[in-house]
Homo-oligomer: A and B are copies of this chain.
Amino acid sequence: MADNNVATNETDRLIASNKVEGTAVYDRDGNKLGSVYNFMVDKRSGKVEYAVMSFGGFLGMGEDYHPLPWDQLTYDTDQGGYVVNLSREQLEGGPHYSAGNEPTFDRAYGQQVYGYYGSSYNY
């Protein structure tokens, strides 16, 4: 996919799934915190429940996955990435898992994740 092919990937309202994946995530001060690994979609409703950030690790080894409520991410066209209103410490302290140790993503987990970030869980 050509990243400069904006029309395929992004409109004023919509963004393409394959553009979101791999996009950098910054804090408010422009420090890179990690990147978007993927996002988890409700099969029936088509609603994105989590954007999963990959965080830490090196070249894909030892990475941790941090699910965030979708509404925590704001796309910043200047930075060409997402900005979260969170510090590295807040992210580090949030619910996360390593590859092979994934949670079940049930509603109790959803309440835990959304609760941690102060978002209301309506899924």
B8 touches A99 (CB 8 A): yes
Tell me the complex Cα distance, A50–B64, Å: 30
User: For the complex formed by this chain, how many copies does it contain in all?
Assistant: 2
Q: Is A86 an interface residue (CB 8 A)?
A: no
Q: Is A92 an interface residue (CB 8 A)?
A: no
For chain A, residues 96 to 113, give those with C-beta under 8 angstroms from any C-beta of chain B: 99-100, 102, 104-106
Interface footprint category on A: 35 or more
Q: Is the interface of A mostly helix, strand, loop or mixed?
A: mixed
0 or 1 for each of A15-42: is its CB under 8 Å from B? (1 = yes)? 1111111000000000000000011111
Instruction: Please pick, from B47, B100, B105, the residue contacting A11 in the complex, using a CB distance under 8 A.
Output: B105
Tell me the complex Cα distance, A27–B7, Å: 29
The 10 closest A-B pairs by CB, nearest first: A46-B70, A46-B48, A7-B102, A14-B40, A17-B17, A18-B38, A11-B105, A16-B38, A17-B38, A17-B39
